[in-house]
A and B are shown apart, each in its own frame.
Chain A
């Protein structure tokens, strides 16, 4: 499974997002520490999920990070994220 698919699958399983965008920005970090040939290291995620309602920013990021533990183990290096509860 590609990193993109892994991220999408795990986020959908864990958080049932109502909206989800995942952008591979690895090319923007070419040559930088953590980058590797073939990319799939730097991603930007924007996600809206009911699960975020009433949760702090840190709690939301923890939920995303926890869902993506396997992705981090497989070489995901950087994850920029915007999290929204519905209506935000």
Chain B
């Protein structure tokens, strides 16, 4: 399977996917860590994919959504944004609302 196919499969088969550096338990980058904190705070189930484990995915994910940086958050197959966007949406209460609209369970209210 090509990197693009692997990415596409992950994005389409998991409700919430975070392409990140490191893992949710051990983020290797402050920007990835911020998104992990937000998702954990909201109590959303998500899959973290460590791009440092696979150079093909690391470069492929930048092309997949024409987005040059990592982390990248996907919900129900849709690209949501990187760290700044996730944080701005969270701070505005929009991220919680967005998850709810997408049918994703949020354990922590806005």
Binds A, one of B6-14, B38-46, B65-73, B102-110: B65-73
The B interface, classified by DSSP as helix, strand, loop or mixed, is: mixed
How many pairs of A and B residues are in contact by the CB < 8 Å rule?
38
- Of all chain A residues, which has the CB nearest B80? A58
Q: How far is the CB of A71 from chain B (nearest CB, A)?
A: 9
Q: Are A33 and B31 in contact (CB under 8 A)?
A: no
Complex contact B31–A78 (CB within 8 A): yes
A80 close to B (CB within 8 Å) = yes
Encode B22-57 as 1/0 by CB contact (under 8 A) with A. 000000111100000000000000000000100000
CB-CB contacts below 8 Å: A35-83 with B: 57-58, 61-62, 65, 69, 72, 78-82
- Expressed in whole angstroms, the minimum distance between the Cβ of B96 and any Cβ of chain A is 16
Q: Which residues of chain B are within 8 angstroms of A29 by Cβ–Cβ distance?
A: 30
Which residues of chain A are near B67, meaning CB under 8 Å?
Answer: 61-62, 65
Asked if B81 CB lies within 8 Å of chain A CBs, one says: yes
Total B residues in contact with A, Cβ cutoff 8 Å: 19
The distance in angstroms between the C-alpha atoms of A80 and B87, with both chains bound, is 11
- The listed residue (B52, B69, B79, B88) touching A78 by CB distance below 8 A is B69
Residues on A with beta carbons closer than 8 Å to the beta carbon of B81? 57-58, 61
Bound together, the chains give a CA A78 to CA B89 distance in angstroms of: 20
Return chain B residues, CB-CB under 8 Å to A65.
67-69
Query: Would you call B63 an interface residue if the criterion is a C-beta within 8 Å of the partner chain's C-beta atoms?
Result: no
Question: With A61-B84, A65-B67 given, can you name 20 additional A-B contacts, CB distance below 8 Å?
Answer: A32-B28, A32-B29, A33-B21, A33-B29, A57-B81, A57-B84, A57-B85, A57-B89, A58-B79, A58-B85, A61-B67, A61-B81, A61-B82, A62-B66, A65-B69, A69-B68, A79-B68, A80-B31, A80-B84, A81-B84
